[in-house]
Every structure is written in C-alpha cells, then in structure tokens.
Structure 1
Amino acid sequence: MSESSRDTAAGAGWGVAEPGEYKRLMPSKVEKLSWLNPRTLWAARNGVLASWFGDPTGHTRSRWVAQQEAAGAPTDKVIRRADPERFSFMLMGDTGEGDDSEYAVVPGFLKIGRGTDFAVIASDVIYPVGSADDYGTKFFRPYQDYPAPIYAVPGNHDWYEDLGAFMRVFCGNAPALPREAAPRRFTRAWMRSLLWHRSRPGDGQHLDVERQLRSAPEQQAVQPGPYWAIDAGPLRIIGIDTGLLGTIDAQQGAWLREVSQGPRPKILVTGSPLYVDGERHPCTIEGGGGTVDDIVRDPAHHYVAAIGGDIHNYQRYPVQVEGRTIQYVVSGGGGAFMHATHTIPRVDIANVTEKDFRCYPLRGDSLAFYSRLYGRRLRLRRFFTLTEAEAMAVIAERLGIQPTRTPGGPVRVTRRVRLVASLLGAGGRPDRTSRFRLPVRKIYTQLFSPSSATYSPPFFKSFLRLDVSPEAVRVRCFAATGNRAQEIEPPVEDEFVIALT
C-alpha cells in the first residue's frame, strides 16, 4: 500500500514529484474556468435569484417528474439491478470542472474502479451552469473508459439551466419542458423571470456525437428522474435532488419516506451533505414535512450512511443514533476547486470528536495550500508561504491536538506562522486578528475559494470505492494528487466498515 498524506509529506503530494500522465487524457484546448470572471458569475446567477425572489426548483422538478412518468418511467423511481449479493461501486462528487483537477482524478478512478458494477456522481456533474455543450469535455470524455453505468444526482450548478441538460443525459434523453405562461407582472416571480438564466438556443447540438464516447451497451443507464433509488444486492441506495438551495420539495419528501420503508439497509446520496464543517445541516422538506435527516435517523428506515457532495473535500462523521452508527460523509473532491479543511473548527458535534472525525486534505495540508495561494495572488510569497510541517504544527497548536502527520524534524512555530494561520482562518477560532481575517470561510465560499483552482499538483482530490457483501460495506477514500506516484498506486486516506447484519 502506498503512503498516504497521514504518513508523509511526499504521500500528500508535496515536494519534487513527477506529474502524472492525466494530461494526455485532456482535450488539446481547455477553457480555464474562473469564478472571478463577471461573465461566469452572471451566468451562475440563478442561485442568488432563487434566494431573493423565491426558489422555483420544487415546481420545476415536479414538472420533470410528471413528464418522466407520462413517458413510462416507474412511479416508484426504483432501479432494480441484477447485481449479486457481493458487488462494488464507485462514488464521487462535484466532478465537472473540465480542467486539470478533474482529469487528474481519472487515472486513479479507472484503476481503483476495475471490476466495479456502477458509479454514482453526487452533485454538480457540470460547471459552471450545467450546460449541455459542456458534457463532451466534462463528462463523456473523462469517463469514456469506465466500462460500467454512471448514475447521478444533480447539484446546484446542474440546476442553473433548470436541469435540462442533466435530464437529457441521465434520464433517457428527456425532452425540454414546455414553456409556462408568464407570471403576473410586478410579483416576485415576475422579477425573477426577467433575470433568470436559461440555456442558449441550440445548446447541446453536438450531444449525440459526444455520447458516442460512452456508447457501449454495458455503459448505459437510464434514471427515472433527478431522484431515484437503486436496489443492488443486499443494499438500497437512494439518491435525492437538493436543488438550488439545499432543500427538497414536499412531493420528493413523501417519496423519500415511502422508499425508505422496510428492513433493507440503505445509503443516502444527496447533493448537499447533512454534516459538514463541524455542523449539522438536516435538509428541510418543504411544506412542513420535517427534514431529510429525520428520515435518515429513524431506526425503522435502517440507514447506515448518508453521503453528500457540494463541498469540495472529504469529511466523515460517525454519529451514534440510538445505539447504532450512521456514517455521515462529504465526498465532493471529484474534480472541482478545493474547499478548505483548515477552517473546520475542533470537532465536537453529536458525540463525534476529533478522535472520530476524518478529513482530506488534512487541515495542515489545506493551510499550506492556501498559504501558497494567497502568497502568489497577493505577491507576498515570503510572508504567507508556510511549509507543510509549519502548517501541520500550527493547526495542532490552535486546535489543541497532536499533529496528524509526524514532522521529519523539529518545527518552530513563529509569530509569522501564527499570524498567517490566523489570517487564513485556521481552526475557525476567533482571536485578536479575526477582524482582519482574509476570506477563506464564509465569504470565501462565494468569493475566493472558487478561484483557488490550480493547474499543477498537488490537487487534493478524492473518490470512494464501496465493496458490498451481505454482512458489511467496506468504504475506502482514495486520493488523487495529480502526481504520478499517486496515479500508479492511489493512497487510501480513510477506510471504514459498515456492518449490515
């Protein structure tokens, strides 16, 4: 087994390393996505409009579901696979940026994915706005050599063009929804409709040609809609669509309660995670239907895990619920820019402590990554740049924990190191410099983090492999750094077993 980031700095991808061969998989010309580009921000405006003028996602989703059912999709939305009692599948989230960080995941994904029966993408198949024109280079091309079906739940970016391209690709080439009558003038809905981003005329003209990259019969899969359940071997995998703002509509909520019945063990796959960054986000069901996490925690439903994307890193919270463990996982490291982990405070939630919590990248590696990023962007490299050992040591000091990775020698945590860590929000702990903290947590998520895409390793990407038997599910989180060493033998960053009996 290769060294992981928990073993050595080289295992994390730091130091002089040979880049991997992922670039040969990429198109000759790659458009680098910048979230600081006003054109990109304007195209992706629908999330903001939904929060200001009301979220139409639930209504639009209901129309998609009704159209699918009218076309013959099963009303229970269950995909019944003929998998044996022992099978395997891959899972990753937030894949579709189409640049180095997405393609760097592919060699390891293909290697570890050998022999698996299918794959699932949890959230944001395509950035920035889910356009059909982007599926060629951001979905069909990178995964053309994965020989099994790929299912998906949409993320907020897939909804920025009302989910049209997602439905065409994953739901049997679903036709576009008929245009509805314009809303009454001078209402919130009318204001929203004036500004709403829609797909361009002629969007996806080459989609049929691009589909040929994944045209083998064994690669085909048709979903009944944006939310679904898969019965595979002894397990039921349930995928829900959390739309633009991280909620589900009442119709989907009623379906989720129905499909969650029975003693069969279940794993939930969701666009927005239920536990993330040391906080619980239970996911509201519209219309007073409670929350998704209420359904997951109900012992009658037999959930063993809930895995979400949206946040672009890996996190795990083993939560004790009435004498059993539910594994709450964030798996959003499939290819988009990296969200920081060093801003996660010391974990103490639902009886999950630092001893139980896992994340990738490690907080120290995340801090070292962002110190280099800010140093480069602000042209203050000598001040901001922290070594991996300095970053690991100051994180341990601020959180009051032992360093996750043992440094190669003594490390001096200087005033400068502490100041940089504080400015970059390390540990999420306020102190005297908090008023000067740079945007790496709340504002950062909307403003700076999306521009943190880099085009040289390490990328700190990740994906999961789940091996299912009647007795247990073995889950492993593998790293993809972009370096050849981790391409040849992807390191395991986390591993756990879920008992099913």
Structure 2
Amino acid sequence: MADSSRDTPEGAGWGGAERGTYRALMPPRTEKLSWLSPRTLWAARNGVLASWFGDPTGATRSRWVAQRAAAGAPADKVIRRTDPEEFSFLVIGDTGEGDDPQYAVVPGLLRAGGDTRFAVIASDVIYPVGSADDYDTKFFRPYRDYPAPVYAIPGNHDWYEGLGAFMRVFCDDAPPLPPEPAPRPFSRARLRSLLWHRPGPDDGRRLDEARALRGAPGQQAVQPGPYWAIDAGPLRIVGIDTGLLGTLDAEQGAWLREVSRDPRPKILVTGSPLYVDGAHHPCEIEGGGTVDDIVRDPAHRYVAAIGGDIHNYQRYPVDVDGRTIQYVVAGGGGAFMHATHTIPRVSVGGVGEEDFRCYPLRGDSLAFYSRLYGRRLRLRRFFTLTEDEATAVVTERLGIRPARSPRASAPVTLRTRLVAGLLGTGRRPDRGKRFRLPVRKIYTQLFSPSSATYSPPFFKCFLRLDVTPQAVRLRCHAATGNLAQELDPPVEDEVVIPLG
C-alpha cells in the first residue's frame, strides 16, 4: 500500500514529485474560476439575498417535487436497485470547478473505484451557479470513463439558478417550472425577485452534446427529485437537499422522518455536514426538530452521516447512547481546499482530538497556505514554512500529537509562531488567550476560496465504501495530482462501521 500523508511528506505530495496524467483528460481550455472576481460574486448573490429577504428554496423545491410526482416518479422517492448483499460505492463531494484539482481526482478514482456499483456526489455538482452549460466540462467530461451511474444531491451553488440544470441532468430532463405569481409590490419577496439571479435564455444549448460523453446504458440513472433514498443490498442511503441556507423545509422533513422508519441500517448524505470544524450543526427542519434528531434516533438505525460543502475530509466518531455514529465531512472532490489548520483542538460530542481525523493534516494545510501567501505577498522568506516546521508549530500551539512524525528536528521559533498565528492556527485553551487574528470564519469565506492552485499537491479526496450485511468499510483516498498517488491512491483514513 502506498504511503499516505500520515507516513511521509512524499505521501502527502510534497517534494517535487512527477505530475500525474490527469491533464490529458482535460479540455484544451479550462476556466480558471476566481472567487474574488466581482463577476463571480454577483452571479452567486442568491445566497445572500435569501438570508436578507427570505429563502424561497423550500417553495421552489416543493414545486420541483410535485412536477416529478406528476411525471410518474415514485411517491416515496426511493430508488430500488438490484445490488448484491456485498457491493461498493463511491462518495465525492463538491466537485465541479472544472479545473486541475477536479480532474486530478479522476485517475485515482477510476483506479480505486472503477469497480464500484455507483457513485454519489455530495453537494455542489457545478460551480459557481449550477449553469447547465457548465455540465460539459465539470460533470460529463471528467466522469465519462466511470462506468456506473452517478446520483447527486444539490449544494447551495446548484441552487443559484433555481436548480433547473440539476433537475435536467439528474431527474429525467425535467422541464422548466412555470413562472411563479408576482410577489406583492413593496414586499421583501418583491425586492428579492428584482435582484434574483436567473439562468440566461440560451443556457443548456450544449447539454445534449455533453450527455453523449456519459451515454452508455450502464451509466444512466434517474432520480425522483433533489432528495431521495437508495435501497442497495442491505443498506438504505438517504440523500437530503439542504438548499441555499443549510436547512430543510417541512415537506422534506416529513419525508425524511417517514423514510427513516425503514428497518434497514442507513447512511445519510447531506449537503451540510452535521459535525464540522470542531462544532455541531444539527440542521434545523422548518416547523421544529433537526436532522440530527432523526439520525440519532436508535429506531432509525443510522450508522453514518456524510456531508459536503466544506472542501476537506473530517471524521467524528460520536457516541450516541452506547452506539457510535460516524459523522464525516467529504467535500474534497475538486473545489478549492478549505484549511484544516484553523480547526481548533477537537472536543465536541464526546469526541476528543485522539479520535478525530482530517485530511489534509493540519501541518500540511498550514504549509500549503504559508507557501501560497508567501508567494502572493512576495514575502516567501518570512511566510514559507517547511512541512516539518508547520507540523511542529501546529503541534505546539494546539497541544496535540503530530499526525506525522517529523524526519528532522524543526525548532519552533518566533517566526513560525507568528506565521501560524497570522494564518489562523489557534492555541489550546489552557495556554492563555489565543494569539491570532479572528480568521477561522474569514478563512472559510475569503482566504480558502482564493487558495485555488493549479500545481500539486492539491489535497483532494474521495470515499470508497464497501458494504456487507455485517459492516461498511469506509476509506478516504487521497488525490494529490502527482503520478505516485494516481497509480496507487493512498488511504488517508479507514474505519469499519458495524451494521448490526
């Protein structure tokens, strides 16, 4: 088995290794998406408008679901497959930027997961606004050689154009929704409507041509809607749509409670992770209750909850009344990397630092960002930390054991402490007030989106889940963009989840 980032720096992709072959899969020209571009920010304004003037996602989703039901989709929204009792599937999160990091995932995914029965994309199939014309280079082309069906749940970016493109691709070419009645004059809804971003009149003109890239019979799948359940072998996989603001409408909440009563063991796939960055986000349901209430109910037999939206890997094994539920973040499928070095020393839901797992490792994340901002600010001698220096200073500041033992002694100096503090690495609570800028939230909203790079290591990942009647083995495979990890995708984390 190949070295992982927990074994050596080379296993993490450091060291100037040979670049992989993924560029041969890319189109001649690719969009370099800038999240700081005014044009991109303006196109992606609907999330802000929904938070200011009210979120219309629930009502729009209800109309999509009703349209699919009228077209003959099953009322319970369950996809009943004929998989054997032992099978495997993939989970990939936050894929669709259409650039080097997304395509760098593909060769290893095909090598480690080409024999799986299907794949699930967990959130944000297409960036920045879910446009139909972006599906060519950001969905059909990268996964054209994956031989099995791909199911998906939408993320907030897929909703920025009303989910129309997502429904066309995954839900049997669903026709556009009829126009809604005009809101009352001078109402908040009216103001939102005037500013709302909508797809252009010619959006989707290349969609039929793009479909041919995944046109084989074995690659086809039709979903009953933006949320669904899959019965596969001994397992039920439940996918929920958390819309623009990370919540569930009452109609979907009622469906989730009903579909969760099935006696099979279950895995939840959601666009908004329930545990992330050392905090608990139970996901509110309109009318009362939370998604995590449903997951924790022992009668529902959930064994894991996997969420996208945050672009890295995290795992929290939470004890719930004597049974362990694995809460996983799996958003490393192609978009820019969200930092992990800003995650504080973990103590949440009974999970301590010794049980928490993440990828990239905090030290590698800090080393990545120190190089990035050293280069951009032209202060390389000050900002740039070696992998060993970054690991040493993160270990000291958080009071944790190093996930990878440094190969050389790396003293923690005033400079390395200052760089770590400036770039968001906190300090353990018993060592006094944190010496750092308040950048954890800023990192997620500003620094991380501006961190896209086009040369390895990329620190991307995908999940392979191997199911038997007794257990699910979950493995997080790394994709760095280097040839070594392409040929033998290293396992960054592995856990066996009992189904009994």
Calculate the TM-score normalised by the size of structure 2: 0.98
Contact in 1 for aligned 2:108/2:487 (Cα 8 Å): yes
**Could you tell me which amino acid in structure 2 is paired with residue 82 of structure 1?**
T
CA distance in 2, matches of 1:42, 1:287: 32
Query: Which residue matches 1:108?
Result: 108
CA distance in 1, matches of 2:236, 2:433: 49
Query: Which residue matches 2:357?
Result: 358
Q: How does 1:299-338 map to 2 (within 5 A)?
A: 299-338=298-337
**Offset at 1:485?**
0.5
CA distance in 1, matches of 2:180, 2:106: 41
Query: Which residue matches 1:400?
Result: 399
Query: Which residue matches 2:92?
Result: 92
Q: How does 1:102-181 map to 2 (within 5 A)?
A: 102-181=102-181
**Could you tell me which amino acid in structure 1 is paired with residue 134 of structure 2?**
D
Q: How does 1:436-455 map to 2 (within 5 A)?
A: 437=437, 439=439, 441-455=440-454
CA distance in 1, matches of 2:11, 2:232: 35
CA distance in 1, matches of 2:81, 2:212: 24
**Offset at 1:448?**
2.1
Contact in 2 for aligned 1:108/1:480 (Cα 8 Å): yes
**Offset at 1:118?**
0.2
CA distance in 2, matches of 1:168, 1:22: 28
Give the 3 Å change call, closer, same or farther, for CA 236–332 of structure 1 in structure 2.
same
Helix, strand or coil: the match of 2:89?
strand
Helix, strand or coil: the match of 1:269?
strand
Give the 3 Å change call, closer, same or farther, for CA 436–351 of structure 1 in structure 2.
closer
CA distance in 1, matches of 2:496, 2:475: 9
Q: How does 1:177-326 map to 2 (within 5 A)?
A: 177-288=177-288, 290-326=289-325
Contact in 1 for aligned 2:340/2:359 (Cα 8 Å): yes
Contact in 2 for aligned 1:262/1:300 (Cα 8 Å): no
Once the two structures are superposed, residues 285-328 of structure 1 have per-residue CA deviations (whole angstroms, 9 ceiling, x without a partner) of 0122x000000000000000000000000000000001100000
CA distance in 1, matches of 2:95, 2:102: 6
Helix, strand or coil: the match of 1:306?
strand
Once the two structures are superposed, residues 174-198 of structure 1 have per-residue CA deviations (whole angstroms, 9 ceiling, x without a partner) of 0000011210011110010010000
Helix, strand or coil: the match of 2:160?
helix
Q: How does 1:416-435 map to 2 (within 5 A)?
A: 416-427=415-426
Q: How does 1:438-477 map to 2 (within 5 A)?
A: 439=439, 441-477=440-476
Query: Which residue matches 1:66?
Result: 66
Query: Which residue matches 2:381?
Result: 382
**Offset at 1:435?**
7.8
Once the two structures are superposed, residues 92-140 of structure 1 have per-residue CA deviations (whole angstroms, 9 ceiling, x without a partner) of 1000000000000000011111211000000000000000010000000
Give the 3 Å change call, closer, same or farther, for CA 191–434 of structure 1 in structure 2.
farther
Contact in 1 for aligned 2:339/2:443 (Cα 8 Å): no
**Could you tell me which amino acid in structure 1 is paired with residue 312 of structure 2?**
N
Query: Which segments of structure 1 move beyond 6 Å, counting only runs of 4 or more?
Result: 430-436
Helix, strand or coil: the match of 1:161?
coil
Contact in 2 for aligned 1:476/1:495 (Cα 8 Å): yes
CA distance in 2, matches of 1:217, 1:25: 22
**Offset at 1:429?**
5.8
Contact in 2 for aligned 1:96/1:138 (Cα 8 Å): yes
Query: Which residue matches 1:17?
Result: 17
Query: Which residue matches 1:42?
Result: 42
**Could you tell me which amino acid in structure 1 is paired with residue 325 of structure 2?**
I
**Could you tell me which amino acid in structure 2 is paired with residue 498 of structure 1?**
I
Once the two structures are superposed, residues 208-264 of structure 1 have per-residue CA deviations (whole angstroms, 9 ceiling, x without a partner) of 110000010000000000000000000000000000000010000000000000321
Is 308-317 or 394-403 further displaced after alignment? 394-403
**Offset at 1:343?**
0.4
CA distance in 2, matches of 1:19, 1:485: 8
CA distance in 1, matches of 2:75, 2:115: 31
Helix, strand or coil: the match of 1:230?
strand
**Could you tell me which amino acid in structure 2 is paired with residue 12 of structure 1?**
A
CA distance in 1, matches of 2:339, 2:219: 34
**Offset at 1:444?**
2.4
CA distance in 1, matches of 2:302, 2:352: 22
- Check if 1:342 corresponds to 2:341: yes
**Could you tell me which amino acid in structure 2 is paired with residue 390 of structure 1?**
E
Contact in 1 for aligned 2:426/2:434 (Cα 8 Å): no
Helix, strand or coil: the match of 2:181?
coil
**Offset at 1:433?**
9.4
Is 266-275 or 395-404 further displaced after alignment? 395-404
Once the two structures are superposed, residues 53-84 of structure 1 have per-residue CA deviations (whole angstroms, 9 ceiling, x without a partner) of 00000000000000000111001000000000
Contact in 2 for aligned 1:423/1:438 (Cα 8 Å): no
Helix, strand or coil: the match of 2:251?
helix
Once the two structures are superposed, residues 129-162 of structure 1 have per-residue CA deviations (whole angstroms, 9 ceiling, x without a partner) of 0000100000000000000000000000000001
CA distance in 1, matches of 2:411, 2:448: 28
**Offset at 1:401?**
1.5
Unaligned segments of structure 2, at least 5 residues: none
Give the 3 Å change call, closer, same or farther, for CA 41–428 of structure 1 in structure 2.
farther
**Could you tell me which amino acid in structure 1 is paired with residue 62 of structure 2?**
S
CA distance in 2, matches of 1:446, 1:36: 10
Helix, strand or coil: the match of 2:325?
strand
CA distance in 2, matches of 1:5, 1:381: 24
- How many residue pairs match? The answer is 499
Contact in 2 for aligned 1:424/1:438 (Cα 8 Å): no
CA distance in 1, matches of 2:426, 2:360: 14
CA distance in 1, matches of 2:16, 2:309: 31
Once the two structures are superposed, residues 323-351 of structure 1 have per-residue CA deviations (whole angstroms, 9 ceiling, x without a partner) of 10000000000000000000000001111
**Could you tell me which amino acid in structure 1 is paired with residue 323 of structure 2?**
R
